Amino acid sequence: MHDDSSETSFFSNSSSNFTSASQIDSGSIASYTHMHSSYLSTQQFRALSRINKTLPSKSSSITKTNHSRGRSLDIGRENKAMSYARNSDYAWSRASSCKSIISDPGSWLYDQNFTKDVPLATELPSRNRQANINLELEKLRIKLRHAQGMHVVAQSENIDASRKLNELSKRRLEESMKLKEIIAKEEMAKKLANYQIRKYQAAAKEAEYLKECAEREAVERKEVELKAIHAAKEKVKLKDALSGSSPQYRKFTWDEIMSATSSFSEDLKIGMGAYGIVYKCSLYHTTVAIKVLHSIGNHKTKQFQQELEILSKIRHPNLLLLLGACPDHGCLVYEYMENGNLEERLLQKNSTAPIPWFERYRIAWEIASALAFLHSSKPTPIIHRDLKPANILLGRNLVSKISDVGLSIMLNSDNLCTMYKDTEPIGTLCYIDPEYQRSGVISPKSDVYAFGMVILQLLTAKPAIALTYVVETAIDAENLTDILDPKAGTWPLQETLDLARLGLKCAELQRIDRPDLKDHVLPILERLKDVADRAQHSASIVTIKPKPPNHFMCPILQDVMDDPRVAADGYTYDHKAIQKWFQENHKSPITNMPLPHKNLIPNYTLLSAIIEWKSRNIYV
């Protein structure tokens, strides 16, 4: 179809070319006839007649010639080119003849009439014209052949271009298909990548969850293991406690003792006895008393182990609490008793305040209850052997506690009396049982004798030497009030007389004459304590000021704070007291640790509470 259309267009163009060529030739012939009309009229008529006659044959020959030449240019299109050449030559000859006749109809008629008379001798000019016509026709044929060659070349190029275009179209289609495949594969790859990403994220979340579960399980397992270990240790401790084989105290290192006492600073020393020195210091933010033995000898080591064993196994409200020890260096850590010992308070050393009589009644009952506890302890009773006012410590609110049980002895429960021989009597003169000094036999009644001497000192605040004689003489003379401590207040006569007689009874020379602590002494002291409690209550309503809460008290002044300020150690102090402290010290009064700074923050909440408490209790 493409070739036919190309050939059709080619033949149409060729027809138009022939038509224009015939028009040009006819025009030239007409002009030539007009120019030579006078001279060649006869020849022109004859020539035109001859041309009209010879044109069909000439046209056929020309057509054959052109056909043979066109066939050499394009063999595949022989039939179409032949028919086209015939039609074009014939049309050209007919158009030329008609145009020449129409262009000059008068001459044509004249020539037609003239030819009848003109002889054939005038053929010479017509031959020249025929040669010119042939020449022009030859030129037209050359042009036609050239046009046909160009058409063939163009058609070949058009075919090549069409073929290349088809190839390019196919290639473009293939590339488009490949591009679509690539895009589809890319989309598939993206989908696969997103799926893999989601899968990875899910796996990562699952791994994280499993990791958290594993960590949680590890922590829980560790907690369970620690609990099991702690339970096992507690079980062992309980078994040891039941069997009496494990010490119930905390072991401190020597470095901790050295740090707490500031290398046994003289400023921290609060007492010194025959067996050791006592220091007041802070250990783990707790005020404690550390007792350090002078030296570790056989006898003192035995005394140290004795005190450590007894205090680590027994607990009583009126026995000094053992917090811990450093056994390797002979150090004992006790709770700190801020009011010193009973001897200092009775004799008012260091200008201490006197103890009211009702407090002395209560102290007597507390000491008796602690001794009764020691004497009835299981599995072995304990005898203190060194009871005296200096070994009775007073804490806050004058609560009394027995200390220094290092000289105590454990008796066989089957025999409450035992022979105890030593190079010298154990204890303090005036408090040692006379029968023990004479026979060397020790028993719970030995502590009763010392307790009787303590009662007499509570009443009189006098030294123990010859005190029993003084009291007996005063009672016999009915002037007991003359020897009572007047600084203790107004003593109740009958109750005080009963207490004095109880003290003399406990201090009998012979053990058999002394009363039983649990059956006779404690009931009397409980009755006297009730009297003292009623008197204390009445006195507190009338004259005794209420005791402030502990958090109102300044740790330095031991009094209610007027302007509470929080220091760098986290404790609250009175402003003036802590400022004075900072002038001489750079450490905390409580922890004894260096302070990072000396800035003080007002504690307005505590100040408002103190003001409210003062206004309610009219405390000055």
Any bridge partners for residue 100, and if so which?
A: none
Average pLDDT of the segment spanning 306-334: 82
Predicted confidence at residue 414, as pLDDT, reads 47
Based on the fold, state whether residues 273 and 140 are members of the same structural domain: no
Active site residue 386: yes
The pLDDT of residue 100 is above 60: no
DSSP for residue 247: -
Which residues are paired to 553 by β-bridges?
560
> Which DSSP string do the residues of 4-31 spell out, in sequence order?
HHHHHHHHHHHHHHHHHHHHHHHHHHHH
CATH number of the domain within which 355 lies: 1.10.510.10
Q: Which of 490, 486, 466, 318 is nearest to 405 (CA)?
A: 318
For residue 478, tell me if it sits in a domain.
yes
pLDDT at residue 589 tops 90: no
The Cα diameter of the chain in Å comes to 219
> Which H or E run includes 281?
strand 276-282
Domain that holds residue 432: 339-542
Contacts of 265 (CB under 8 A, 6+ apart): 279
Of 156, 171, 186, the one marking the end of a domain is 171
Asked whether residue 510 falls in the same domain as residue 573, the answer is no
Q: Do 521 and 567 belong together in one domain?
A: no
pLDDT of residue 442: 82
In a domain, 200, yes or no: no
Is residue 375, in this structure, part of any structural domain at all?
yes
Query: 53, 120 in Cβ contact below 8 A?
Result: no
pLDDT digits (tens, 9 = 90+) for 42-76: 444 454 455 444 444 444 444 444 444 444 434 44
Please indicate, yes or no, whether residues 388 and 536 belong to a single structural domain of this protein: yes
| Residues flagged as binding site | 291
Residue of higher predicted confidence among 240 and 54: 240
**In the block, residue with structure tokens 């066989």:** 412
- Could you tell me if 524 and 571 lie in one domain? no
pLDDT tens-digit map of 109-122: 444 444 444 444 45
Could you tell me the CATH number of the domain that includes residue 263?
3.30.200.20
Query: In this predicted model, what pLDDT tens digit does every residue of 151-188 receive, in sequence order?
Result: 999 999 999 999 999 999 999 999 999 999 999 999 99
Final residue of a structural domain among 171, 195, 224: 171
On whether residue 68 sits in a domain, the answer given is yes
Token pair for residue 164?
A: 């290349």
The answer to the question of residue 280 being in a domain is: yes
Residue 47 domain flag: yes
- Are 154 and 44 found together in one domain? yes
Same-domain status, 281 and 349 = no
505 and 359 assigned to the same domain: yes
pLDDT at 32 over 60: no
> Which has the higher per-residue pLDDT, 405 or 317?
317
Which residues define the annotated binding site for ATP?
291
Domain-embedded: residue 188:
no
Is the pLDDT score of 423 beyond 80? no
- Token pair belonging to 453: 């001497």
How buried is residue 148: exposed, middle or buried, by Cβ count under 10 Å (0-12/13-18/19+)? buried
CA distances from 459 to 117, 357, 367 (A): 203, 8, 15
Q: Taking all residues of the chain, what is their mean pLDDT, rounded to a whole number?
A: 76
Q: Is 86 in the same domain as 129?
A: yes
| Domain finish residue from 316, 336, 356 | 336
pLDDT at 366: 92
Into how many domains does the chain fold? Answer: 4
CA distance 178 to 189: 16
More confident residue, 196 or 123: 196
Q: pLDDT value at position 426?
A: 67
CATH of the domain at 556: 3.30.40.10
Of these residues, 25, 89, 111, 386, which one is catalytic?
Answer: 386
pLDDT for the residue 110: 41
268 plus 359 within the same structural domain: no
403 and 303 assigned to the same domain: no
Phi (first) and psi of residue 416, to 5 degrees:
-80, 0
Confidence of residue 437 (pLDDT cuts 50, 70, 90): confident
Q: Is 4 exposed, middle or buried (CB count within 10 Å of its CB: 0-12, 13-18, 19+)?
A: exposed
| In the chain, % of residues over pLDDT 70 | 70
Q: Is residue 204 part of a domain?
A: no
Q: Above pLDDT 90, what percent of the chain?
A: 22
Cα torsion angle, 337, 341, 344, 345, sign: positive
Summarize pLDDT for 382-399 with one digit per residue, the tens.
888 888 998 899 988 888
Q: In what order do the strands lie in the sheet with 276-282?
A: 250-251, 322-326, 331-335, 287-293, 276-282, 269-272
